[in-house]
């Protein structure tokens, strides 16, 4: 073991890891170190410029994982995960939408004491400052959020259109969803640049003498020792490959915290001997804690979408999306001189989180009962315990039958999106609007597992298998196809929006046609959770309600991987809240 020793080692300088670094180093008596595999890209213009975020996929700041071929979809799916200080908060879009109260209470109902919504909301509010119009700011958290006024033509048309068909505007940070949303973005209104974990949480505290941060440093193993056969394993330190390529170790006095994300956190546990014993033995890894749930319960939002032609006399940002020289030049000029235009935003703030009305009537509930009965219980993953499969289905059923809970997340944009296009890069001529349609609460569950114990692969996208198993639970196809049909019907009746569209004919009155469309066009969002789930071990858990790894006395996981039930929409806000809660638990336990 190296003579270099810290009180707390944080593996991963992403969204969660930098929240922990800030909060734990508030105690001057704790020596904290963060080890991040990626670079510090806080000076990169593409990182900081909001409208440039699509350029960050498949860049050096992205792990760029690939799923195995999907049995029930027509495509293999790329998984962007941030490989830089700030993690995915440095490369993904900016939408800051919390989840519903029912979702958080669903986590608690799995057996996670302390995860009530009031506690979660307190942690969430600690993370941000929300800037509204006329200079009004709420909160004192490090992350800076900008809320658009909602006064553009398309924003007003979307809000008014949904109100006209019975869905009022809602507050995306309230925990009470079910209507149209103007989403806050993690953009600093003073600088017009991305606000993310690196410049919000880390930069203000980089000079603390008790905090060290090392980039381009890939941890390959947590060093675990078991004092006796019936005792919990103890983390003594970590092995890593340093920036110069040499293998090194660091010792730990108190805690090791893995915050490497939904793909890399289970990978690191397995490389360290925590996982399915049979898998680890096949790869020549010493089994420290035999827990077959590690890497299971991978969840993500599946989405498709619809496009509609806009009238010729209204403005859209299609020309910018087609990268036409004049439109790009004007956008760059607007951003450089005024901090406005399509380069100043994700261009996706107009949203809705909506119920699915067809399951709210007595007849609809009977149909849903029939679907659950016909489709079979627990079909989302063969590795899921019966107890969790039943709990997951109870939760999803409760959402589907509630008039006030969001079944789907809908993202509206004033440009063509290639849902049903010849290629992902295709951009149609003319003017369009698009609606992305996400399945908020999938029952399909996948997995992440290592395929090699070779430490040289740990800093790459190789040496592991990601199997999302999209649509493996048949109810997901049923619900998402009905969302497609519902979206088309809803927009056809939303006159304040439809008045700006060209006439069109409905394509999906037939449910089977909608199902075929979903199979052909669906893709995965960047919202991966669940692979180190927080719940009782017997139910399928990897960590307990204070994020401690089962079978280990001083090892925790704190990131999106611990979330056991997928949030309703973009998980950025959820991850910040989880990290704030984790920091509170750790500080309490280290006293």
Sign of CA dihedral 195, 196, 199, 203: positive
∠ CA 428-430-436, rounded to 5°: 55
Per-residue pLDDT band for 542 (boundaries 50, 70, 90) equals very high
Q: 390 lies in a domain?
A: no
At residue 2, the pLDDT reads 62
Average pLDDT estimate for 149-159: 93
Give the C-alpha distances (Å, rounded to integers) separating 130 from 155, 182, 247.
Answer: 19, 13, 43
Residue 380 clears pLDDT 80, i.e. is over it: no
Instruction: Give the total residue count for the chain.
Output: 591
pLDDT tens readout for residues 562-576: 999 999 999 999 999
- Categorise residue 135: left if φ over 0, alpha if ψ from -120 to 50, beta otherwise: left
Per-residue pLDDT band for 229 (boundaries 50, 70, 90) equals confident
At residue 386, the pLDDT reads 93
Per-residue pLDDT band for 39 (boundaries 50, 70, 90) equals very high
DSSP at 548: B
Tell me the helix, strand and coil percentages in the chain, rounded to 5: 35, 20, 45
pTM above 0.85, yes or no: yes
Distance CA 156, CA 350 (A): 9
Interhelix angle for 511-521 vs 474-493, to 10°? 110
Q: 233 lies in a domain?
A: yes
Residue 1 clears pLDDT 60, i.e. is over it: no
> By mean pLDDT, which of 173-177, 426-430, 481-485 is the weakest?
173-177
Distance CA 422, CA 425 (A): 8
Average pLDDT estimate for 69-76: 82
Average pLDDT estimate for 189-207: 97
Q: 261 lies in a domain?
A: yes
Range of the domain at 589: 1-130+190-301+449-467+527-591
pLDDT tens readout for residues 82-118: 999 999 999 999 999 999 999 999 999 999 999 999 9
DSSP annotation string for 151-186: -SHHHHHHHHHHHHTT--B--TTSS--SSEEE--BS
Helix (H, G, I), strand (E, B) or coil at 263: helix
At residue 335, the pLDDT reads 96
Residues 343 and 337: beta-carbon distance below 8 Å: no
Residue 381 clears pLDDT 80, i.e. is over it: no
Distance CA 376, CA 394 (A): 13
DSSP at 202: I
Token pair recorded at residue 362? 């007595």
In the chain, % of residues over pLDDT 90? 91
Annotated binding site for FAD: 15-16, 219, 571-572
The total number of structural domains in the chain stands at: 1
Q: What is the CATH number of the domain that holds 243?
A: 3.50.50.60
Q: How does the average pLDDT of the chain come out, rounded?
A: 95
At residue 173, the pLDDT reads 92
Distance CA 315, CA 415 (A): 10
Residue 554 clears pLDDT 80, i.e. is over it: yes
The contacts of residue 512 (CB under 8 Å, 6+ apart) are: none
Residue 9 clears pLDDT 90, i.e. is over it: yes
Task: Give exposure, 555-577, as e/b (b: 16+ Cβ within 10 Å).
Answer: bbbbbbbbbbbbbbbbbbbbbbb
> By mean pLDDT, which of 311-315, 373-377, 441-445, 584-588 is the weakest?
373-377
Q: 255 lies in a domain?
A: yes
Spatial CA neighbour of 426 closest among 318, 316, 302: 318
Give the C-alpha distances (Å, rounded to integers) separating 141 from 23, 249, 286.
Answer: 12, 35, 43
HSE, CB side, 13 Å, CA atoms: give it for residue 195: 27
Give the C-alpha distances (Å, rounded to integers) separating 554 from 8, 121, 249.
Answer: 10, 27, 17
Average pLDDT estimate for 54-78: 89
Give the C-alpha distances (Å, rounded to integers) separating 581 from 16, 44, 69, 308, 566.
Answer: 10, 30, 36, 42, 18
At residue 161, the pLDDT reads 97
Per-residue pLDDT band for 77 (boundaries 50, 70, 90) equals confident
Helix (H, G, I), strand (E, B) or coil at 489: helix
At residue 519, the pLDDT reads 95
∠ CA 395-397-403, rounded to 5°: 105
> By mean pLDDT, which of 137-141, 480-484, 580-584 is the weakest?
137-141
At residue 351, the pLDDT reads 96
Spatial CA neighbour of 224 closest among 279, 290, 281: 290
Integer-rounded Cα Rg, in Å, for the chain is: 23
Q: 495 lies in a domain?
A: no
Which contiguous run of DSSP H or E holds residue 45? helix 45-48
Average pLDDT estimate for 8-23: 98
Average pLDDT estimate for 352-378: 87
Residue 591 clears pLDDT 70, i.e. is over it: yes
DSSP at 542: S
The contacts of residue 112 (CB under 8 Å, 6+ apart) are: 534, 535, 545, 564
Helix and strand totals (H; E) in the chain: 15, 25
Per-residue pLDDT band for 456 (boundaries 50, 70, 90) equals confident
Q: 531 lies in a domain?
A: yes
pLDDT tens readout for residues 98-107: 999 999 999 9
Average pLDDT estimate for 514-530: 96
Instruction: Provide the Cα torsion 535, 442, 409, 63; round to 10°.
Output: 80
Q: 510 lies in a domain?
A: no
Give the C-alpha distances (Å, rounded to integers) separating 402 from 210, 337, 393, 488, 491.
Answer: 49, 47, 14, 21, 22
Residue 424 clears pLDDT 90, i.e. is over it: no
At residue 86, the pLDDT reads 97
Spatial CA neighbour of 210 closest among 344, 34, 455: 34
Q: 590 lies in a domain?
A: yes
Residue 195 clears pLDDT 70, i.e. is over it: yes
pLDDT tens readout for residues 162-176: 999 999 999 999 999
Distance CA 63, CA 79 (A): 8
Residue 379 clears pLDDT 80, i.e. is over it: no
Per-residue pLDDT band for 29 (boundaries 50, 70, 90) equals very high
Annotated binding site: 15-16, 219, 571-572
Strands 274-275 and 247-258: unpaired
């Amino acid at each position: 073991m190296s003579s270099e020793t810290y009180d707390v080692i944080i593996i991963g300088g992403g969204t969660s890891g930098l929240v922990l670094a800030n909060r734990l180093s508030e105690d001057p008596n704790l020596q904290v170190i963060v080890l991040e595999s990626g670079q510090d890209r806080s000076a990169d213009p593409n990182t900081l410029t909001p409208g440039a975020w699509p350029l960050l996929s498949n860049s050096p700041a992205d792990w760029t994982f690939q799923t195995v071929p999907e049995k029930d979809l027509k495509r293999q799916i790329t998984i962007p995960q941030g490989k830089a200080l700030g993690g995915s908060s440095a490369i993904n879009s900016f939408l800051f939408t919390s989840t519903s109260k029912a979702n958080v209470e669903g986590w608690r109902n799995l057996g996670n004491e302390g995860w009530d919504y009031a506690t979660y909301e307190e942690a969430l509010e600690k993370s941000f400052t929300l800037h509204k119009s006329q200079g009004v700011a709420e909160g004192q958290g490090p992350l800076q959020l900008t809320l658009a006024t909602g006064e553009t033509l398309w924003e007003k048309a979307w809000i008014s259109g949904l109100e006209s068909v019975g869905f009022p505007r809602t507050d995306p940070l309230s925990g009470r969803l079910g209507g149209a949303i103007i989403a806050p973005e993690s953009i600093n209104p003073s600088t017009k640049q991305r606000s993310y974990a690196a410049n919000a949480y880390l930069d203000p505290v980089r000079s603390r003498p008790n905090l060290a941060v090392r980039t381009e440093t890939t941890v390959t193993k947590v060093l675990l020792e078991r004092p006796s056969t019936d005792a919990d394993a103890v983390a003594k330190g970590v092995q890593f490959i340093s920036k110069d390529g040499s293998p090194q170790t660091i010792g730990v006095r108190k805690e090791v915290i893995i915050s490497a994300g939904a793909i890399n956190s289970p990978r690191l546990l397995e490389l360290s001997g925590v996982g399915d014993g049979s898998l680890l033995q096949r790869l020549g890894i010493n089994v420290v804690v035999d827990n077959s749930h590690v890497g299971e319960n991978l969840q993500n939002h599946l989405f498709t979408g619809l496009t509609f032609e806009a009238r010729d006399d209204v403005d859209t940002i299609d020309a910018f999306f087609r990268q036409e020289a004049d439109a790009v030049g004007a956008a760059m000029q607007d951003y450089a001189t005024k901090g406005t235009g399509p380069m100043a935003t994700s261009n996706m703030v107009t949203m809705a989180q909506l119920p699915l009305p067809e399951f709210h009537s007595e007849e609809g509930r009977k149909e849903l009962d029939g679907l659950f009965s016909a489709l079979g219980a627990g079909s989302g993953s063969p590795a899921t315990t019966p107890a969790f499969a039943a709990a997951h289905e109870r939760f999803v059923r409760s959402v589907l039958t509630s008039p006030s809970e969001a079944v789907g997340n809908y993202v509206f944009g004033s440009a063509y999106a290639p849902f049903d296009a010849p290629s992902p890069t295709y951009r149609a001529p003319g003017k369009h609007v698009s609606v992305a349609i996400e399945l908020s609460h999938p029952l399909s569950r996948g997995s992440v597992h290592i395929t090699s114990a070779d430490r040289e692969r740990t800093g790459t996208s190789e040496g592991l298998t990601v199997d999302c198993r999209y649509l493996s639970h048949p109810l997901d196809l049923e619900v998402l196809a009905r969302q497609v049909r519902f979206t088309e019907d809803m927009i056809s009746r939303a006159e304040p929006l439809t008045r700006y569209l060209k006439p069109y004919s409905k394509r999906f009155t037939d449910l089977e046609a909608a199902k075929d469309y979903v199979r052909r066009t669906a893709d995965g969002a960047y919202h991966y959770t669940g692979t180190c789930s927080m719940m009782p071990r017997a139910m399928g858990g990897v960590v307990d309600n204070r994020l401690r790894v089962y079978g280990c006395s001083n090892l925790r996981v704190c990131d999106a991987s611990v979330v056991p039930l997928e949030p309703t929409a973009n998980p950025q806000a959820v991850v910040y809240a989880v990290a704030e809660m984790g920091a509170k638990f750790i500080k309490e336990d280290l006293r």
